[in-house]
Structure 1
Amino acid sequence: MSRTHQPIWRRAALPSAVLCLTLAALTGCSSGASDPAGNKHAAAGTESGSDAGKGAPAGARSDATTDPEQAAPPQQVSIPSIGVTSSLLRLGLNADRTVQVPPADKGMTAGWYTGSATPGEQGAAVLIGHNDTRFGKAVFHDLRKIRKGADITVRNTLGKTSHFTVTGTESVSKKAFPTDKVYGRTTARALRLITCDGAFDAQGHPVNNLVVYATLR
């Protein structure tokens, strides 16, 4: 993120029916307005046009549920090794099918993308957070410091806590975002954390995304 507040993700391609789990054609999305109270951002690290990428697969969210408590929406994420504790906003899609992210004035709050799996269920659950905003450092500013084996805990609205172990991290170009790896169907009970990373381009946009991969203990 630049000091003048740039979006986490500028443009993306998303399936038009990602929330109802049907296969759909990918639709290109342009960058949203920079209104700090409700700016629009695109999906994690994917861009259209010259920075084309594939959007989150429509089947990314699993409908398999074995534990009613586990299926409750997530409420809080904690990463003790880097001193992060945050409540979780619910992030869906904007009217133009771009993925919502936390508004800049809530930069210290992460969000759960509701089109992904519920943390602890089968599938890939995706949490999104800013690196920084025009208001300063944000919730995932130190995410690059996380190490393999670190603990991430997610507490749901019923008070049940799930522990995830970090299995790896990668900084990826927004021009070659590993969409299937991040959003694709998986039999694992997986967690992905995403924020901006890397140097800035001439327009002040971070050129990379940082992805943290974790699995349920």
Structure 2
Amino acid sequence: MLNRRFGNTAIAGVTVVALCSGAWLLRSGAETHAPPQPSAAQAHSPAGTTAGQDAGRGAAAALPPSPPDRIRVPSIHVDAPLMGLALTPTGSLDVPPAAKKNLAGWYEAGTTPGETGTAIVAGHVDNAEGPAVFYALGALRRGSAIEVDRRDGSIAVFTVDAVEVYDAKDFPDEKVYGAARRPELRVITCGGGYSRSTGYRGNVVVFAHLTGSR
């Protein structure tokens, strides 16, 4: 893949395909267990409004860099540790071990959550045993809170601006991974429908910006 710039750091443009095998659905053969997908009502507002206007809350001042240790999304009952993710030899973003279903990862060579730029968090939607950490990500709503515990003892609080789903072939690298002038967060998992032959067809992406800290 061609190198692109996201999270204020040069990195390959990827759609975290390794998250998207749909092992649980393939094993159970039950598409009725597919994870929730975001509705059009949770997408970004029409062109001309900003992400901050979408969520109805202004941006908070950036925090100094500090690695994250944990992510919490109370409205969908996520409370999970974070591990550092690097790039694979092919230039795509690596993923957490599939066997550890309550584990997410962040791109550790990029922006840390809370500092200026676009921080990237990714996690599995399921594994062979059932739902994983971001199974319910598609049910998240605009205005919801995401909290990230940081190693310096602070908690970065983000507000969700939009939740969108993209087919893999139409994944908007620049929109998702592009550099930002304020502290922003992207949380990514699989979605976009499921096929037994190919697994999940795309990705669910949560767009959020920093609105506070404590």
Q: Give the TM-score normalised by structure 2.
A: 0.71
Alpha-carbon distance in 2 for matches of 1:108, 1:210: 18
SS in 2 for 1:200: strand
| Gaps in structure 1 of 5+ consecutive residues | 1-12, 37-65
Q: Deviations over 1:137-165 (max 9, x none)?
A: 10000111111100000011121101000
Contact 1:174 1:208 in 2 (8 A): yes
| Gaps in structure 2 of 5+ consecutive residues | 24-61
- Cα gap change, 1:107/1:206 in structure 2, threshold over 3 Å: closer, same or farther? same
Alpha-carbon distance in 2 for matches of 1:197, 1:21: 26
Supply the AA of the counterpart residue of 2:204.
Answer: L
Task: Indicate the residue corresponding to 1:15 in structure 2.
Answer: 3
Alpha-carbon distance in 2 for matches of 1:19, 1:98: 14
Task: Indicate the residue corresponding to 2:88 in structure 1.
Answer: 94
Q: Deviations over 1:36-90 (max 9, x none)?
A: 9xxxxxxxxxxxxxxxxxxxxxxxxxxxxx75xx311000000011111001010
2:170 is the alignment partner of 1:180: no
Supply the AA of the counterpart residue of 2:163.
Answer: T
Q: Using CA pairs under 8 Å that are at least 6 residues apart, name the structure with larger relative contact order, 1 or 2.
A: 2
Q: 1:115 deviation in Å?
A: 3.5
Q: Which residue among 137, 146, 149 is the counterpart of 1:143?
A: 137
2:189 is the alignment partner of 1:201: no
Number of residue pairs aligned between Structure 1 and Structure 2: 170
Q: 1:19 deviation in Å?
A: 9.9
Task: Indicate the residue corresponding to 2:48 in structure 1.
Answer: none
Contact 2:6 2:118 in 1 (8 A): no
% identical equivalent positions: 36
Matches within 5 A, 1:132-171: 132-171=126-165
Alpha-carbon distance in 2 for matches of 1:81, 1:178: 26
- Cα gap change, 1:182/1:19 in structure 2, threshold over 3 Å: closer, same or farther? closer
Dislocated runs of 4+, deviation >3 Å = 16-22, 26-29
Q: Give the TM-score normalised by structure 1.
A: 0.70
Contact 1:124 1:183 in 2 (8 A): yes
Matches within 5 A, 1:23-102: 67=63, 70-102=64-96
Contact 2:7 2:120 in 1 (8 A): no
Q: Which residue among 206, 210, 214 is the counterpart of 1:216?
A: 210
Contact 1:104 1:133 in 2 (8 A): yes
Q: 1:136 deviation in Å?
A: 1.4
